[in-house]
């Protein structure tokens, strides 16, 4: 039975599954990957993920500290595209589109 994470420690909650990754574990692992990708700014990257990890891809991209992701959710749906954009001059990072699905509509062009 799934047990909601307690408000006082959402990052370290494992739920009923022994040895399951916590939010902190996933945020840290995904963050390492995103930081590694950001060392290569000379080309675009495509990251494919599932819904739960998606939150931590966006959080890491925006450089939100892991400690601040306990209540964070950047919701998505299957097949959705999130566009993260890097400004080469100012070095800002933009969440340009979140979970866009217009490309999935039959008979239309995105």
- Per-residue confidence at 41, pLDDT binned at 50, 70, 90? confident
What distances in angstroms separate CA 5 from CA 32, 37, 43, 47, 73, one per listed residue?
Answer: 24, 30, 38, 27, 14
Instruction: For residue 110, name the pLDDT band (cuts at 50, 70, 90).
Output: low
Q: Mean per-residue pLDDT for 33-55? A: 94
| Weakest mean pLDDT among 29-33, 53-57, 106-110 | 106-110
Q: What is the DSSP letter of 5?
A: P
Q: Indicate whether 86 pLDDT > 60.
A: yes
- Show me where the domains of the chain are located: 23-77
Give, to the nearest 10 degrees, the angle between helix 23-37 and helix 51-61: 50
């Amino acid at each position: 039975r799934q047990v909601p994470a307690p408000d006082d420690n959402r990052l370290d909650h494992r739920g009923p599954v022994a040895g399951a990754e916590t939010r902190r574990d996933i945020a840290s692992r995904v963050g390492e990957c995103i930081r590694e990708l950001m060392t290569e700014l000379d080309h675009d990257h495509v990251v494919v993920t599932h819904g739960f990890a998606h939150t931590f891809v966006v959080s890491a991209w925006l450089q939100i500290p892991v400690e601040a992701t306990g209540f964070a959710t950047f919701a998505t749906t299957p097949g959705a595209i999130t566009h993260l954009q890097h400004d080469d001059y100012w070095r800002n990072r933009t969440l340009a589109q979140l979970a866009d699905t217009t490309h999935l509509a039959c008979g239309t062009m995105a």
